[in-house]
Amino acid sequence: MTIGFEIIARDGAARAGRLITAHGVIETPVFMPIGTAATVKAMTPDGVAATGARLILGNTYHLMLRPGAERVAALGGLHKFMNWPHAILTDSGGFQVMSLAGLRTISEKGVAFRSHIDGSKHVLTPERSIGIQRLLGSDITMAFDECTPFPSERAAVEASMELSMRWAERSRRAFVARDGHGIFGIVQGGVHADLREKSAKTLMAIGFDGYAVGGLAIGEGQATTFAMTEATVPFLPEDRPRYLMGVGKPADLVGAVKRGIDMFDCVLPTRSGRTAQAFTRHGTLNLRNARHADDPAPLDADCRCPACAGFSRAYLHHLVKAGEILAAMLLTTHNLTYYADLMAKMREAIMAGTLAEFEAPP
């Protein structure tokens, strides 16, 4: 088999399931912490696992440039290299390459670009992207695609989507099937429902182990993100996992799960942890604010994380103001725990048939 996926409960469009990979079983809906450069920033692998995460995201573009996919493979693969025994999904690098305005040239073959690190020249094709992800040992490989900028004219969006579909077919052919490893296709089409339908149907005809909804959460707004998700999900297979890329805030996660999405990733909880923001069940806190300076309460009295179990808001405020690294470590741990617990509570609600009453956090 490649990767397995089983649905164990439904509540409306929402599903609770299990994703079965070479490095373990992941309960869905699931949020993936971002480990772009073979590390979740400000976290140890054991610390990430303690939040409840069993699937993280790495990135082809960054790892091919530094330290190099061949080097990682020679050192035993990404799991061993970063001491992470659980599952890894790798983004194809397409989004990062497309963001290199002025440093890349797109053709039918792929993308020629200059490294943002040292200006060196590289070419990333569907075949090379899939090959890099195999060298890394990814449990879940992503097809190489072009993430169309927003906003763009419809003609440009359609041409971009069609190119991504041709690259998807080449990505699928380049993927080497093996037990516990799979490849996901990525639906594109901008904010045009008919283009997303066409993209989804094309990917279905090619055949993938899972399907991602890409090209959203790039400035179009939550209402449009949800509308495009609703326009896409009906054309994806019921028995395969669905992944909404780059999402998002807690309210985004709740809304997307209610619309049938199983998987998510976003830099928000880790980036916020490094910029003094904490997500709680009662809203977001900015630990830079002076109002926390004398507050003996934890960030969230109902949270199980080390930051809440052992430290006060006053202490965290002090760490932030003093510029101490421990502030980023504790706040990132808290935020990832919060996200993991939010997903767990949604799984429980789906199992109980009460997701419709589940309220998005403030």
- Nearest of 287, 293, 307, 184 to residue 243 by alpha carbon: 184
How far apart, in whole angstroms, are the C-alpha atoms of residue 28 and residue 18?
A: 6
Q: Residue 110: is it exposed, middle or buried by C-beta count within 10 angstroms (0-12/13-18/19+)? A: buried
Please indicate whether residue 46 is annotated as part of the active site: no
Residue from 91, 139, 252, 300 carrying the catalytic annotation: 91
Query: Of 139, 145, 209, 265, which is the active-site residue?
Result: 265
Q: Are 202 and 165 in contact (CB under 8 A)?
A: yes
Sheet of strand 140-142: strand arrangement: 30-32, 263-265, 242-244, 210-213, 182-187, 140-142, 87-91, 55-59
The rounded distance, in Å, linking the Cα atoms of 143 and 110 is: 12
Task: Tell me, yes or no, if 265 is annotated catalytic.
Answer: yes
Locate tokens 């919060």: which residue? 338
Query: In 3D, which of 272, 268, 209 has the Cα closest to residue 243?
Result: 209
Looking only at Cα atoms, what is the longest distance across the chain? 60
Nearest 10 degrees: Cα torsion 48, 339, 222, 87:
40
Write out the E strands in the chain.
4-11, 14-21, 24-28, 30-32, 55-59, 87-91, 104-106, 111-114, 121-124, 140-142, 182-187, 210-213, 242-244, 263-265, 277-280, 283-286
172-197: buried (b, 16+ CB within 10 Å) or exposed (e) per residue? bebbeeeebbbbbbbbbbbbbeebbb
Residues involved in catalysis: 91, 265
